[in-house]
Amino acid sequence: MPACVDQEFLLGGLVDGELDAANTALAEAHAARCEGCREELERLQAVHNLLAREDVRHRAPEALVRRIHALPELSDPPARRGMLPGWLAPGLTGAIAASLAMVMFVQPSNQSVVDEQLVSSHVRSLQPGHLIDVQTSNRHVVKPWFNGKVDFAPPVPELADQGFPLVGGRLDSVNGKTVGVIVYRRNLHTVNLFVWRSDKAFSGNSVEDGFNLAKWNEGGLSFAAVSDVAPQDLREFESLYRARAK
């Protein structure tokens, strides 16, 4: 079974220890429930371990090492320091400062990073075998299924009479947290509702990579509905869910 396309770079970074804590948790959680990615992770780890062995490394000959260290570019760097005209230094310093300020200004907010992860998880769930851990249209089965898996009880209202039938639920990982996901349908479209415990403000509607997101807080929980349905349909879903979850 092949690995998920959107996870290949994360798996490589996980093996090489190049991921931050959030992406490490995300990659590990995904590999734990995806057979294809778990096999790819094991393969990458085996290659990594093989390349780390001393007997597979090729050391450069001493003569080559001496020739490299004897090159002028490496042996005499101070002689090149005076190549920058004095009149250019202040302007260059200002340009570098402005560039750094611009990089800091356009740095994505934490909420935009979460939005990206939500959409990535939504897209991944649409691949065969990734959408549902418990498949049922019975809310009295889905709600207790989360007991012991997350430290909260997500509301699971029935919305089939309004055109959003319940499909089931699963666990996922977003921003380093294990989250509950309640899955609904809208005709042939999937609506993933991510739920996790949080006191941070998280609200509004947005679009990420062509997918619509509706976000809100209620009762110490954060909610994020993600789908490719029309924006008005997702707003209707949010309104119905919030009204019936009380």
When computed from its CA atoms, the radius of gyration of the chain, rounded to whole angstroms, is: 25
Nearest CA-CA partner of 120 in 43, 183, 72, 175: 175
- Does 73 share its domain with 135? no
Tell me which residue has tokens 């939005």: 115
- Does 230 share its domain with 150? yes
Tens digit of each residue's pLDDT, the chain (246 residues): 788 877 877 888 888 887 766 677 777 878 888 888 888 888 888 887 777 776 666 677 888 888 888 887 644 455 554 555 555 555 556 665 555 544 444 444 456 788 889 999 999 888 887 789 999 999 999 999 999 999 999 999 999 999 999 999 999 988 888 999 999 999 999 999 999 998 888 888 989 888 999 999 999 999 999 999 999 999 999 999 999 997
Q: Which domain, by its residues, includes 229?
A: 110-244
- Does 116 share its domain with 193? yes
- Does 29 share its domain with 44? yes
Nearest CA-CA partner of 238 in 176, 194, 172: 194
Cβ within 8 Å of residue 62, ≥6 positions away:
none
The pTM of the full predicted model, rounded to 2 decimals, is 0.58
Q: In 56-187, where do the E strands start and end?
A: 134-135, 166-174, 177-186
**Rounded CA gap, 2 and 122, in Å?**
19
Cβ atoms within 10 Å, residue 235: 15
* Number of domains the chain is built from: 3
Of 30, 54, 78, the one marking the end of a domain is: 54
Tell me which residue has tokens 């009204």: 243
- Does 132 share its domain with 168? yes
- Does 126 share its domain with 189? yes
* CB neighbour class for 199 (10 Å; exposed up to 12, middle 13-18, buried from 19): exposed
Buried b (16+ CB within 10 A) or exposed e, 118-130: bbbbbbbbeeeeb
